[in-house]
């Protein structure tokens, strides 16, 4: 199908791609040109401009607004996610990480388990973590406080994560008990939506954060970081840069979880593998 917009020149695509990789880490090799144009058509429509070169020049101009970069981040990011995606990680959380936390911490009111969902998309990962922790507390009879930070660069995804409202189809596969305990059904059955219960929403803080920033905007030291299916879109150098930073925010002995199809082979990092795609930060 022929696009109604004039194609971007190879030279400008190269420049915009370089800028995107420097700013967000996301790779933009020449093969992605078609996809880039397909995703940005809507924005050109909104701006009433007719050539990708014109749009590229707006992005490359020093005075390009933060608002335009937010639009760009929404459109170039890949946001696929689901509840309990890569379920082995949640089994590991339940059977190893949470019992270990209790053993080491002797939980008291002052010891809070801190978890970060980095590249959280629309929030299903963070809420699955919350549900898993609540299930652990319920079945083990233990008590401890916890908090989950969920961050992303896409304002559109962050809005959805904050709302915590999802189409019913997304929770179809979850057990009836989990749905009943942790999801509210919309009163209007025609809308077929569910919402995470307030008790879990209150545990999750959703915020904008670009993993490529040199200084992370928090002092927190996390016990567990989920950074799954996010760095897969980055080149090796940026993966290394981001992981070093992320590990600075993880406590020694804390757990790092990456996506099943991601690899940390040959990256010199202070971590030790403990299970497929799960690492512990070593003491260096």
Shortest distance (Å) from residue 76 CB to ligand SAM: 8
Q: Does 26 bind ligand SAM (CB under 6 A)?
A: yes
Q: Work out whether 41 is an interface residue with ligand SAM (CB under 6 A).
A: no
Q: Which stretch binds ligand SAM (CB under 6 A): 43-51, 88-96, 117-125, 215-223?
A: 117-125
Tell me: does residue 229 bind ligand SAM (CB under 6 A): yes
Site string for ligand SAM, 65-104 (x = CB under 6 A): ------------xxxxx---x-------------------
What 3 state SS string does 73-127 have?
HHHHCCCCCCCCCCCHHHHHHHHHHHHHHHHHHCCCCCCEEEEEEECCCCCHHHH
Alpha carbon distance 127, 97 (integer Å): 17
From 71, 125, 257, 281, residue interacting with ligand SAM (rule: CB under 6 A)? 125
Closest approach of ligand SAM to the CB of residue 122, in Å: 8
Whichever of 50 and 244 has its CB closer to ligand SAM, that residue is 244
- Residue 253 CB, nearest distance to ligand SAM (Å)? 23
| 20 vs 200, beta carbon nearer ligand SAM | 20
Contact call for residues 257 and 225 (beta carbons, < 8 A): yes
Interface stretch with ligand SAM, choices 39-47, 52-60, 89-97, 227-235 (CB under 6 A): 227-235
Residue 5 or residue 120: which is nearer to ligand SAM going by CB?
120
How far from 132 is each of 137, 184, 211, CA to CA, in Å? Answer: 9, 17, 25
Q: Are 100 and 94 in contact (CB under 8 A)?
A: no
Strand arrangement, sheet containing 193-196: 165-167, 193-196, 183-185
Looking at residues 128 to 167 of the shown chain, list those that interact with ligand SAM (rule: CB under 6 A).
Answer: 152-154, 157
Q: How many C-beta neighbours within 10 Å does residue 178 have?
A: 18
HSE-CB for 148 with a 13 A CA cutoff: 26
Q: Cβ atoms within 10 A of the Cβ of 214, count?
A: 6
Residues 165-224 that bind ligand SAM (CB under 6 A): 210-212
With CA atoms as reference, report the closest residue to 210 among 234, 177, 176.
234
Positions in the binding site for ligand SAM (CB under 6 A): 24-26, 77-81, 85, 119-121, 125, 152-154, 157, 210-212, 228-230, 259
């Amino acid at each position: 199908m022929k696009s109604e917009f004039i194609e971007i020149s190879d030279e400008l695509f190269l420049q915009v791609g370089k800028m995107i990789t420097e700013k967000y880490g996301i790779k933009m090799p020449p093969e992605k040109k078609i996809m880039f144009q397909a995703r940005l058509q809507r924005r050109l429509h909104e701006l009433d401009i007719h050539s990708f070169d014109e749009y590229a020049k707006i992005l490359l101009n020093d005075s390009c607004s933060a608002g335009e970069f937010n639009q760009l981040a929404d459109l170039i990011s890949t946001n696929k996610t689901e509840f309990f995606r890569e379920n082995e990680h949640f089994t590991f959380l339940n059977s190893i990480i949470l019992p270990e936390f209790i053993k080491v911490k002797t939980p008291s009111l002052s010891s809070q388990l801190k978890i970060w969902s980095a590249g959280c998309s629309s929030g299903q990962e963070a809420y699955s973590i919350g549900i898993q922790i609540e299930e652990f507390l319920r079945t083990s009879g233990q008590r401890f406080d916890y908090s989950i930070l969920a961050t992303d660069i896409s304002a559109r995804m962050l809005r959805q994560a904050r709302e915590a409202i999802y189409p019913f189809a997304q929770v179809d596969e979850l057990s009836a008990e989990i749905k009943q305990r942790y999801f509210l059904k919309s009163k209007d059955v025609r809308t077929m939506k569910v919402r995470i219960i307030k008790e879990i929403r209150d545990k999750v803080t959703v915020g904008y954060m670009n993993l490529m920033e040199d200084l992370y905007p928090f002092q927190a030291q996390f016990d567990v970081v989920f950074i799954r299916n996010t760095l897969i879109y980055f080149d090796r150098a940026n993966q290394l840069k981001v992981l070093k930073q992320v590990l600075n925010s993880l406590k020694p002995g804390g757990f790092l979880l990456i996506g099943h199809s991601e690899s940390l082979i040959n990256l010199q990092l202070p971590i030790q593998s403990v299970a497929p795609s799960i690492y512990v930060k070593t003491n260096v």
